Amino acid sequence: MLIWAGAGIAVKQALLLVSPLTLIVLRFSLAVVLMLIIGLIFRNNQIIGLQRLDPKHLPLFLLGGLLQPFLYFIFETYTYQSFTSPTIAEALLSTQPILAPIFAFLLLREQVTRYNIIGILISTAGMLLLLLTGAGHFDLGNPWGVLLAILTVSCSVGYSVVLRRIPTHYSSLTIVFYVQTISLALFYMLWGGAQLLNPTPFIQTELLSLQFIAKSMLSIVYLSVFASVAAFILFCFTVRYIGVTRANIFNNVRPVFTAILMLLIFSEQLPLSKWIGILVIILGLFISQKQIKE
């Protein structure tokens, strides 16, 4: 979650150099190549070794690749475009930990304890306090935006369910590699179609100072190596180890890390109410992870 929180800052820098769809294609192309190299070198490792895909499991990988990152990224982008305030979009997208136990119980029959529910509600309350403090008027006047937010969250939670469905003998890198390769193929088709309909230059700015290019390229590398490889593998391992409900509650920590990174990097000050929100999120997180002893 710390890596993904930093990805938001990296995306803003990278988008100064390339278009959003081009950034996605570059990001996941580099990620897939990197995973292929690592997976072949450490092919006997249970976490980062690359294994052959059994054809009978292909539908699960296809579904995973369709849900995330492909549909998730598309729905998330249009969710942000549907609202004048990004805070409203972030608040709606933060409902992921709330939907996770519902999906987990209905599709996986995963046990959802009272501690999970209480922790999710407390953490979500803290997250809303963190996001909405100083946000001004909160208006859910765009029904299409709300629908897109629901679809975005459903794709993300559905992806977690798919991870749990995939047989346990596959390594985390194997799962992420095949899922992202499938998504990348879909993104390439979308990107190619967009280029045919509306050709755009690969570089979309004339501010080509060496320092500017270097910062943007480093951002793309960060998004590829850390956000698309390391974080996805870590999340895959986590979901398969502690379950959909307990893993998805950690999404509420992302705004915490984002706020702290903005404080450290850009000196963006946090009022007392936001610090209280951060503490409430962490409290809820600890409660949600408590297990009932048999």
Taking only the tens place, the pLDDT of each residue in 245-267 is 999 999 988 888 888 888 888 88
**Domain extents in the chain:** 2-288
Select, from the ranges 61-65, 212-216, 254-258, 266-270, the one with the highest average predicted confidence (pLDDT): 61-65
- Is a pLDDT exceeding 70 seen at residue 208? no
In this prediction, residue 9 carries a pLDDT of 86
Give the model's confidence band at 202: pLDDT under 50 very low, under 70 low, under 90 confident, else very high.
low
- Is a pLDDT exceeding 90 seen at residue 172? yes
Question: At 29, phi and psi to the nearest 5?
Answer: -65, -50
CB–CB of 200/19 below 8 Å? yes
Among residues 17, 60, 42, the alpha carbon closest in space to that of 203 is found at 17
- Is a pLDDT exceeding 60 seen at residue 27? yes
Give the model's confidence band at 79: pLDDT under 50 very low, under 70 low, under 90 confident, else very high.
confident
Mean pLDDT within 114-137: 83
pTM of the model: 0.89
In this prediction, residue 85 carries a pLDDT of 66
